[in-house]
Amino acid sequence: AQSVTQLGSHVSVSEGALVLLRCNYSSSVPPYLFWYVQYPNQGLQLLLKYTSAATLVKGINGFEAEFKKSETSFHLTKPSAHMSDAAEYFCAVSDRTSADSWGKFQFGAGTQVVVTP
């Protein structure tokens, strides 16, 4: 089965600074990868997705992520943090390794982002 690891459960950034959230996956087949954002007491909202097209993926709210097969990574970045970016972020992979696991999504543990003025 595929799995996802997010490095760092909490990240603090200054307003205007670079946001970098790390995600590594384990997979024996080309994965589909996703980043979601969650605000308190709400559901998750898709930021962006990689499904075997361009390796640099642009999403909503100025976020982008780069798929690097050699590093099995899909890190999320935003050049300049805004106060509204304070939220929890989840990396997810669609499990396509076997018929039994097809259709399941595995989520990382999440990274809480705090933005300071």
Q: Does 51 bind other proteins (CB under 8 A)?
A: yes
Residue in 12, 45, 61, 80 binding other proteins, rule: CB under 8 A: 45
Q: CB-wise, 17 or 32, nearer to other proteins? A: 32
Residue 67, classified by CB atoms within 10 Å of its CB into exposed (0-12), middle (13-18) or buried (19+), is buried
Q: CB-wise, 51 or 61, nearer to other proteins? A: 51
User: Looking up tokens 């972020």, which residue turns up?
Assistant: 89
Detail the DSSP E strand segments found in the chain: 3-7, 10-14, 19-26, 32-38, 44-50, 56-58, 64-68, 73-78, 87-95, 104-107, 111-116
Q: CB-wise, 6 or 73, nearer to other proteins? A: 6
Q: How many residues bind other proteins (CB under 8 A)?
A: 25
- Binding region for other proteins (CB under 8 A): 9, 32, 34, 36, 41-46, 49, 51, 90, 92, 94-96, 102-105, 107-110
